[in-house]
Protein backbone atom coordinates (compact mmCIF):
# COMPACT_ATOMS: atom_id res chain seq x y z
CA UNK A 1 0.00 0.00 0.00
CA UNK A 2 1.19 3.49 -0.84
CA UNK A 3 2.36 5.63 2.05
CA UNK A 4 0.76 9.03 2.76
CA UNK A 5 3.98 10.96 2.06
CA UNK A 6 6.72 10.60 -0.53
CA UNK A 7 9.98 12.49 -0.33
CA UNK A 8 11.53 13.21 -3.69
CA UNK A 9 15.31 13.50 -3.51
CA UNK A 10 16.93 15.34 -6.42
CA UNK A 11 20.58 14.52 -6.93
CA UNK A 12 23.13 13.19 -9.37
CA UNK A 13 25.61 10.37 -9.71
CA UNK A 14 28.98 10.90 -8.04
CA UNK A 15 27.82 13.77 -5.82
CA UNK A 16 29.07 13.28 -2.24
CA UNK A 17 26.44 15.63 -0.79
CA UNK A 18 23.68 13.74 -2.64
CA UNK A 19 24.97 10.48 -1.17
CA UNK A 20 25.04 11.98 2.33
CA UNK A 21 21.47 13.29 2.06
CA UNK A 22 20.27 9.88 0.85
CA UNK A 23 22.05 8.11 3.72
CA UNK A 24 20.64 10.49 6.33
CA UNK A 25 17.14 10.10 4.98
CA UNK A 26 17.43 6.31 4.72
CA UNK A 27 18.54 6.16 8.37
CA UNK A 28 15.59 8.32 9.50
CA UNK A 29 13.04 6.38 7.48
CA UNK A 30 14.03 3.16 9.25
CA UNK A 31 12.58 4.62 12.45
CA UNK A 32 8.96 3.76 13.22
CA UNK A 33 8.23 7.46 13.80
CA UNK A 34 8.67 8.13 10.08
CA UNK A 35 6.87 5.04 8.75
CA UNK A 36 4.32 7.17 6.88
CA UNK A 37 7.08 8.48 4.56
CA UNK A 38 8.80 6.80 1.63
CA UNK A 39 11.65 8.04 -0.54
CA UNK A 40 11.97 8.41 -4.30
CA UNK A 41 15.42 9.21 -5.67
CA UNK A 42 15.41 11.33 -8.82
CA UNK A 43 18.73 11.44 -10.66
CA UNK A 44 18.60 14.75 -12.55
CA UNK A 45 21.06 13.40 -15.13
CA UNK A 46 18.45 10.91 -16.38
CA UNK A 47 15.33 11.69 -18.40
CA UNK A 48 12.95 10.51 -15.65
CA UNK A 49 14.82 12.42 -12.97
CA UNK A 50 14.96 15.58 -15.05
CA UNK A 51 11.22 15.38 -15.74
CA UNK A 52 10.51 15.00 -12.01
CA UNK A 53 12.83 17.93 -11.27
CA UNK A 54 11.18 20.16 -13.88
CA UNK A 55 7.71 19.16 -12.67
CA UNK A 56 8.61 20.22 -9.12
CA UNK A 57 9.15 23.79 -10.41
CA UNK A 58 10.53 25.02 -7.08
CA UNK A 59 14.17 24.00 -6.82
CA UNK A 60 17.19 25.94 -8.02
CA UNK A 61 19.34 23.60 -10.18
CA UNK A 62 22.45 25.12 -8.59
CA UNK A 63 21.27 24.01 -5.13
CA UNK A 64 21.22 20.24 -5.58
CA UNK A 65 20.89 18.00 -3.64
CA UNK A 66 17.37 18.93 -2.71
CA UNK A 67 14.28 17.26 -1.31
CA UNK A 68 10.59 17.92 -1.78
CA UNK A 69 7.86 16.39 0.40
CA UNK A 70 4.72 15.30 -1.42
CA UNK A 71 1.43 13.95 -0.10
CA UNK A 72 -0.78 11.30 -1.67
CA UNK A 73 -4.19 12.49 -2.81
CA UNK A 74 -6.74 9.70 -2.28
CA UNK A 75 -9.07 10.76 -5.09
CA UNK A 76 -6.36 10.79 -7.79
CA UNK A 77 -3.82 8.46 -6.14
CA UNK A 78 -1.12 10.96 -7.16
CA UNK A 79 1.41 12.73 -5.01
CA UNK A 80 1.40 16.54 -4.90
CA UNK A 81 3.83 18.89 -3.14
CA UNK A 82 2.88 19.88 0.40
CA UNK A 83 2.48 23.65 0.60
CA UNK A 84 4.28 25.59 3.32
CA UNK A 85 1.81 26.97 5.85
CA UNK A 86 3.80 30.15 6.47
CA UNK A 87 6.35 30.95 3.73
CA UNK A 88 9.46 32.70 5.07
CA UNK A 89 12.69 33.65 3.26
CA UNK A 90 14.72 32.16 6.12
CA UNK A 91 13.89 29.55 8.76
CA UNK A 92 15.33 29.27 12.29
CA UNK A 93 16.33 25.59 11.91
CA UNK A 94 16.80 25.29 8.14
CA UNK A 95 18.14 28.75 7.32
CA UNK A 96 18.05 29.58 3.62
CA UNK A 97 17.94 25.88 2.72
CA UNK A 98 14.20 25.70 3.28
CA UNK A 99 12.04 25.91 0.18
CA UNK A 100 9.75 28.92 0.12
CA UNK A 101 6.39 27.71 -1.26
CA UNK A 102 6.57 23.96 -0.64
CA UNK A 103 7.82 21.78 2.20
CA UNK A 104 11.36 20.78 1.36
CA UNK A 105 15.03 21.69 1.36
CA UNK A 106 17.71 22.65 -1.13
CA UNK A 107 21.41 22.97 -0.40
CA UNK A 108 22.64 26.40 0.67
CA UNK A 109 26.22 26.64 -0.59
CA UNK A 110 26.91 30.06 0.96
CA UNK A 111 29.40 30.52 3.80
CA UNK A 112 26.43 30.60 6.17
CA UNK A 113 24.82 27.36 4.93
CA UNK A 114 28.12 25.55 4.26
CA UNK A 115 26.38 23.14 1.87
CA UNK A 116 24.98 21.05 4.72
CA UNK A 117 21.51 19.53 5.08
CA UNK A 118 21.54 18.18 8.62
CA UNK A 119 19.34 15.48 10.16
CA UNK A 120 17.76 18.21 12.32
CA UNK A 121 16.77 20.14 9.18
CA UNK A 122 15.31 17.00 7.60
CA UNK A 123 13.20 16.13 10.66
CA UNK A 124 11.96 19.74 10.93
CA UNK A 125 10.71 19.55 7.35
CA UNK A 126 9.07 16.13 7.84
CA UNK A 127 7.33 17.39 10.98
CA UNK A 128 6.08 20.41 9.04
CA UNK A 129 4.62 18.20 6.32
CA UNK A 130 2.42 16.44 8.86
CA UNK A 131 0.88 19.68 10.20
Q: How far is CA 62 from CA 4, 26, 27, 71, 109, in A?
A: 29, 24, 26, 25, 9
pLDDT in tens, 58-100: 899 999 999 999 999 999 999 999 999 888 777 888 888 999 8
pLDDT surpassing 80 at residue 53:
yes
pLDDT surpassing 80 at residue 1:
no
Domain 5-130 falls in which CATH fold?
Glutaredoxin (3.40.30)
For 85-112, letters b (16+ CB in 10 Å) and e give: eeeeeebeebbbbbbeebbbbbbbeeee
Q: Can you give the pLDDT at residue 47?
A: 97
Q: What pTM was estimated for this model as a whole?
A: 0.93
Residue ranges covered by each domain of the chain:
5-130
Amino acid sequence: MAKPYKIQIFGKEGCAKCKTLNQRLDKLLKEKKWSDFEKEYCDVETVDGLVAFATAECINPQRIPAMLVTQRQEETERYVPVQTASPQPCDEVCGKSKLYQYVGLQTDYTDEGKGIISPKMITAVLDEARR
